[in-house]
Amino acid sequence: MRSLRLVAWALAGGLLSWCTPPSAKAPIPAGTPFAYRLAVRWDGALFEEGARVVETNLGYRVGVRALYVGLGSLELVACPDEAAVAALTASVARADHAWDADASRLDALSAARLTDEGELLLGAATASGADYCELFWTVGTVDAQASDGFELARAAAHLEGWVDAPDGERRPLDVWLTVGEGVRVPLEDAWTPGAELRLTTAPGRAFDDLAFDALSDVEILFEVIQALGNGSRARFAAPP
């Protein structure tokens, strides 16, 4: 039942996004190379017991000792015209996305350690010349090592840490996820020559709204990965 609910959520979210396309556009001349960069922010988090510690909006304290995600692909999405929207709403969306592949696609296929703040250069791609409105990015199942040597082996994410409930009871977390997740993020800025595409994510806020007592460990990590995507931001910016 949960799987059917997740599929329904994904299809409904995809159709809604295409029916209400972002207004900002980022036309890039065809053949222009640009880089993708991941930025990780832990604003407001404490560091205790070897973990990043955040308090959620529901009163839980979460300690994150390890959080790794498999970076699948990143791809800019052209702004849909009225004909494309009509065609999509009259058909069934594909499982991965609902548009033709663009030259801007980057298959990162790497493991990112999200307990580290900072920025990570993911790779480069080439623009197709389209007017871009969104970034589609995925947390995917990969075989890859993170910067510290930790390995994701046919896994999409790993979380290790603990949760303190409002009543003080501690729940340890040590969970793997083997199912990926993709999300479309509106572009916040127009492209300028030399700019990179910076994807910013805030792991500390990905634990908000979670009623941990009602979720299994795998469900917790799935919800966290989903929140990472939905809470991310994508913008063109000058290289650091």
* pTM for the structure as a whole: 0.83
178 φ/ψ angles, rounded to the nearest 5 degrees: -110, 5
Alpha-carbon separation of residue 26 from 23, 73, 132, 199, 225 (angstroms): 10, 20, 5, 15, 27
| Between 20 and 113, residue with greater pLDDT | 113
Cβ atoms 54, 144 nearer than 8 A? no
Alpha-carbon separation of residue 208 from 130, 204, 240 (angstroms): 36, 8, 30
Cβ atoms 188, 234 nearer than 8 A? yes
Residue 137 in tokens: 């990015």
Q: pLDDT tens, 44-58?
A: 899 998 999 999 999
State how far the Cα of 231 lies from the Cα of 110, in Å rounded to an integer.
Answer: 21
| pLDDT given for residue 67 in this prediction | 98
Q: Domain-by-domain residue ranges, the chain? A: 24-79+98-237
State the DSSP code for 187: B
Using alpha carbons, select from 42, 39, 68 the residue that is nearest to residue 55: 42
| Between 76 and 96, residue with greater pLDDT | 76
User: H or E stretch including 224?
Assistant: helix 217-230
User: What is the CA 197 to chain-centroid distance, rounded?
Assistant: 14
Q: pLDDT tens, 87-137?
A: 444 333 333 455 568 999 999 999 999 999 999 999 999 999 999 999 999
Alpha-carbon separation of residue 112 from 23, 107, 158, 180, 192 (angstroms): 31, 14, 10, 14, 27
